[in-house]
């Protein structure tokens, strides 16, 4: 069974085609970028063959999708003989609100709900829906599945998701903590338990998904009970360009001083803040480390702030869980950056967390990085959100 996995943004489409018959195999993947701009770009990489890059205007999502489908069956570099070999399509959908605590096969009702949630996720859900509707036109006979970033966190208890604001805003507008990166948090927790031979329903786990966007979750007996992102992904950790937790009074003060309207305030906290804002150097951790090594004090400070944030959330969630058996690092930073892992876990003996410097040198792999005698196991686990989407798509499209 071949599954096409799509992640449609407002101006981009990331895609992967996977064969799911035995051990999952990626047949091809790539990205359509700069949709709607004067110069668009289409990248296609069939596994084991050279990458194809086409630069051309891509006026809308349907032109982008068309490029993807044509590439997949191209006589020279395609990986399928015909489009009939695509058996199902899985979509990453940003916001499932309180409607979706699981992935769902797409029907009229699911689309109506995804559309309604565009109200609280205006940057993502309309683009996700556009992807779904375009695929329905291009491949009308093929079942489609939606996998939500929020659904794993629907098990949060009310005390963890209600904000300290008038309750009517929750009732009327759905303003509450939802959390994101759910597929990744769930996937790495389950994968780690499989590797360790543990029963997840007996364990207390803290998962740190550290990428451009970053969030931490507390997972009790396999269920998410708290998570650092909130109503939107801007909350929680200081991130690449997002502010994370911020005194709202500080934002109001800056807005007044700088004469910021809502759109500008939004850009400030989402695009100009985080380690980029602190360092003035970059949002990329490799560039920050390089700048720090050259003596850039603000790059060093940005890394320090980031690791301190991660550490605080680990401590907070150990309190939430009444202890912790396993801490997992994942995402581009969590999987690769040994300094961030080491510094975030520094001086946490009281929680039984102790990193083995030698074991911690690993990159992009699944490994234990805590010392043999540490009470709490610390691991780095590679995440694979596309694989989760493909697996859910196989399961649901067969029903």
Instruction: Please give the positions annotated as active site.
Output: 149
Cα distance between residue 266 and residue 147, in whole Å:
27
β-sheet with 367-368: strand ranges across: 223-227, 214-220, 204-210, 326-330, 377-380, 367-368
Cβ at position 228, least distance to ligand ADP in Å: 14
Which of the ranges 78-86, 211-219, 297-305, 372-380 carries the binding residues for ligand ADP, by CB under 6 A?
211-219
Contact 91, 147 (CB under 8 A): yes
Q: Is residue 103 near ligand ADP by the rule CB under 6 A?
A: no
Cα distance between residue 236 and residue 245, in whole Å:
5
Q: Is residue 336 near ligand ADP by the rule CB under 6 A?
A: yes
Closer of 148 and 285 to ligand ADP (Cβ) = 285
Q: Is residue 236 near ligand ADP by the rule CB under 6 A?
A: no
Contact 218, 209 (CB under 8 A): no
Closer of 131 and 332 to ligand ADP (Cβ) = 332
User: Which of 133, 245, 284, 356 lies at the binding interface for ligand ADP (CB under 6 A)?
Assistant: 284
Closer of 134 and 279 to ligand ADP (Cβ) = 279
Closer of 194 and 286 to ligand ADP (Cβ) = 286
User: Which of 8, 329, 332, 341 lies at the binding interface for ligand ADP (CB under 6 A)?
Assistant: 332
Cβ at position 366, least distance to ligand ADP in Å: 16
User: Which of 331, 348, 379, 396 lies at the binding interface for ligand ADP (CB under 6 A)?
Assistant: 331
Cβ at position 4, least distance to ligand ADP in Å: 20
Which of the ranges 12-20, 47-55, 280-288, 389-397 carries the binding residues for ligand ADP, by CB under 6 A?
280-288
User: Which of 126, 211, 233, 274 lies at the binding interface for ligand ADP (CB under 6 A)?
Assistant: 211
β-sheet with 104-105: strand ranges across: 52-55, 41-46, 25-33, 13-19, 2-8, 88-93, 144-148, 104-105
The residues pairing with 204 across neighbouring beta strands, listed in sequence order, are: 220
Closer of 239 and 327 to ligand ADP (Cβ) = 239
Q: Is residue 212 near ligand ADP by the rule CB under 6 A?
A: yes
User: Which of 64, 131, 213, 230 lies at the binding interface for ligand ADP (CB under 6 A)?
Assistant: 213
Q: Which two tokens stand for residue 92?
A: 């990453």
Cα distance between residue 162 and residue 142, in whole Å:
39
Q: Which two tokens stand for residue 340?
A: 């961030």
CB atoms within 10 A of CB 36: 14
Q: Is residue 277 near ligand ADP by the rule CB under 6 A?
A: no
Sequence-ordered strand ranges (E) for the chain? 2-8, 13-19, 25-33, 41-46, 52-55, 88-93, 104-105, 144-148, 204-210, 214-220, 223-227, 326-330, 367-368, 377-380
Q: Which residues bind ligand ADP (CB under 6 A)?
A: 211-213, 240, 284-286, 331-333, 336-337
């Amino acid at each position: 069974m071949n599954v096409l996995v799509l992640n449609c943004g407002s101006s981009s489409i990331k895609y992967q085609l996977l064969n799911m018959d035995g051990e999952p195999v990626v047949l091809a993947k790539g990205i359509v970028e700069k949709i709607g701009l004067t110069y668009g770009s289409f990248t296609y990489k069939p596994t084991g063959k050279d990458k194809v890059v086409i630069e051309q205007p891509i006026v809308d999502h349907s032109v982008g999708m068309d490029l993807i489908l044509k590439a997949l069956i191209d006589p020279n570099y395609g990986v399928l003989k015909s489009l009939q070999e695509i058996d199902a399509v899985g979509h990453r959908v940003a916001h499932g609100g309180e409607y979706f605590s699981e992935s769902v096969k797409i029907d009229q009702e699911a689309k109506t709900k995804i559309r309604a949630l565009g109200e609280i996720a205006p940057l993502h859900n309309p683009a996700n829906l556009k992807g779904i509707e375009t695929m329905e036109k291009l491949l009308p006979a093929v079942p489609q599945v939606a996998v939500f970033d929020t659904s794993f966190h629907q098990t949060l208890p009310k005390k963890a998701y209600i904000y300290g604001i008038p309750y009517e805003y929750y009732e009327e507008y759905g303003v509450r903590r939802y959390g994101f990166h759910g597929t990744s948090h769930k996937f790495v927790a389950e994968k780690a338990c499989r590797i360790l031979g543990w029963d997840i329903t007996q364990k207390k786990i803290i998962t740190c998904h550290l990428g451009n966007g970053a969030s931490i979750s507390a997972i009790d007996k396999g269920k998410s009970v708290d998570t650092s992102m909130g109503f939107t992904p801007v909350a929680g950790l200081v991130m690449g360009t997002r502010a994370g937790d911020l005194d709202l009074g500080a934002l109001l003060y800056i807005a007044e001083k700088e004469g910021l309207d809502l759109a500008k305030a939004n850009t400030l906290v989402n695009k100009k803040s985080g380690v980029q804002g602190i360092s003035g150097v970059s949002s990329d951790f490799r560039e920050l480390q390089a700048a720090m090594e050259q003596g850039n004090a603000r790059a060093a400070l940005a890394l320090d702030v980031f690791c301190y944030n991660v550490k605080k959330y680990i401590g907070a969630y150990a309190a939430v869980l009444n202890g912790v058996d396993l801490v997992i690092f994942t995402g581009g930073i969590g999987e690769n950056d040994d300094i961030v892992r080491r510094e975030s876990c520094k001086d946490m003996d009281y929680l039984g967390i102790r990193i083995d410097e030698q074991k911690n040198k690993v990159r992009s792999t699944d490994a234990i990085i805590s010392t043999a005698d540490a009470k709490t196991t610390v691991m780095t686990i590679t995440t694979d959100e596309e694989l989760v989407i493909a697996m859910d798509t196989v399961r649901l499209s067969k029903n």
